[in-house]
Structure 1
Amino acid sequence: MSKPVPSPTSELPDDLNPQVRQAVLRELHGGKVNALTDAYLLTGDAEEHARLDAQHNAIALMLGGLFPEQARSMIEATLQSSGGNPNPSILDIGTGSGAWAIAMAKQFPDANVVGLDLVPVNASSKPPSNCRFDICNANEELDLYPSGSFNIVHIRLTLQGVKDYYQLFDQVHRMLRPGGVLLVLEAAFAVFDANKVLIRAEKPNDPGFTWYHHSASVFNEATKARNPSFADIERVGDLLSGMVSDSWESVSGFSFFMPLGPWPSDPVERQAGELMRNSLLSAIVSIRPALVSFGVAPEEADRNAREVKVELKGGKVQQYLKFYQSWAVKKVSD
């Protein structure tokens, strides 16, 4: 059986010419480079990974750590070293900048942590010895990992690039050890106002209109056109519960609102909001190709980006994104 390709973190320089970078990525992925890697091609992986680090820190603040407190006992139990579980292992699918994988490797030094992504990881800090990164396509290559390999599988803001959620979750279930935990955190491209009510205004003159909502709405439609599975992004918990009845011991979850700016009075939300705003200021550039390929005129896509940057930097518009945190525990009897 072939093995996942180790991520050559030092072989893809930050200042690599975008055309050369694209050729490298096409070679790595058999010619399969699409809108999901545009952020790396347009901004350079170092800048994109810095954005992902800010996003990671914002989410960690809102969760109160690397994972929800409600799942702590299950996570710590499955990572407990014992005679029957001497080498606990963690898989981070869509690891991005590798921030979560590195932090988990430090928090659980007895566990082996694998970060998986389509492109090489350019981590902002040196991974500890119990952490490695693989280049792997989660849509097609998870068979490379043996059954019962991991105690925890973590998926965060990755499902927009997954073609078949049921197939992915079946693979995760196969890779998990009995009692293992799946953690999934996703967000729909929907924007909520200061009262946490879904914004529906579509035109600049409509009451409650925001440019970020406008851009997110178009990007949402573009993403669903490219990947119809994305329509189920808010239903991950339901999809897991709907799998074969003997798949999971339990499925749980909750949602939370992430402020898009440092306007909340709560100090944690204020800090998280500033981090998320900074992340979005970089992300707005990377979604341009998806908007244009969807049929948005280039000049309109450029205007959207300019207006979103002004809006987010101004800090006068109070708006939220909604995140959905789910987790499932594999039955011990499997």
Structure 2
Amino acid sequence: MRSAEYDAFGPWIMPVTSREEIPPLYRGHGLDPATARLVLKLPRNIARRDATASMDLYDHLVIVDDAALTVLSRRAGGYDERVIAHDAICAIDYGTDLLDGWITVYSADEGEQGRAPALALSYVGTSLDVVEKLVSLLRSLYRTGTDRDGDRSPGPAAGGAAGLPPLGQRDLGDRDIALVTRQLAVLRAEPRMRLLGYHRRQLLASREGGALRRLVRLVRPVVLHAAVVCGDAAELQVLHRRDWVTRGRRPEYSLASTVLPLARVDRAVLADDPRNAGVRVLTLHCGGSALELVVPAGSLTEQALVAQLGDRLAR
């Protein structure tokens, strides 16, 4: 047995533009793609040779309309539905680590039926361009005022910060040229954005001393990875690696973006990292969601985040 869906199946995120393209599992939902802004289907993480026409081949159906983001997710015997109103979105984190891609949408909702307020989806990294289109659409729908109306003229960042000159290719060192390239792409595509802060990759010392701890970190160093902060009057974009802190000497290939609508942050807490010296952990609270950013103490990154958060920050 064959079907058009089976014949087209692969590891890619696919757009859905007609009722016939909706995976059979989700057709009872009543979705009409013609009335949505964007509909995407995310495939199961299986090899093409292991797929059959009788399978439910798509793990998720993502629907964006004027009111909300809706995600239908496959489970045994059916699917679950999650709806996040655009005005409840308080952060979006997305990126790739080689072929491993992810997008996490943080919601101000407290969650229901034991579910976390953050919604996380995985995908094959070759579909990053489709995910970027999804993120751009969500941002256009939750932003208000002139930004939502499409005003792309230059404007100040929150707090009146004028911004820094764009980073040069090797300003973060040879290992983080990808972050510099990403920063340049953001500033080119979004004229209202300004470079507000950054820090370079650095090795971390343990907050607790001792010869053994120093020896362990010499053999397996603890690394705080580089990051870049861009922003305007409405949002922050933090460009970073998938993990802020890693152990060991392996090369880092991941590239992540965290988008933060400033108006959605209820409060922020800045505290010393209990394990690593010279490091601060910034925890952003929005309804039921909490998001952590890790920065060097006193760095331009820390200064930019503190300035943008203003009176939401508790120390």
Report the TM-score range of the alignment, normalised by the length of the smaller protein.
under 0.3
Higher strand share: 2
Give the TM-score taking structure 2 as reference length.
0.26
User: Which has the bigger relative contact order, CA under 8 A and spacing at least 6?
Assistant: 1
Name the one with the larger helix percent: 1
TM-score in terms of structure 1 length: 0.25
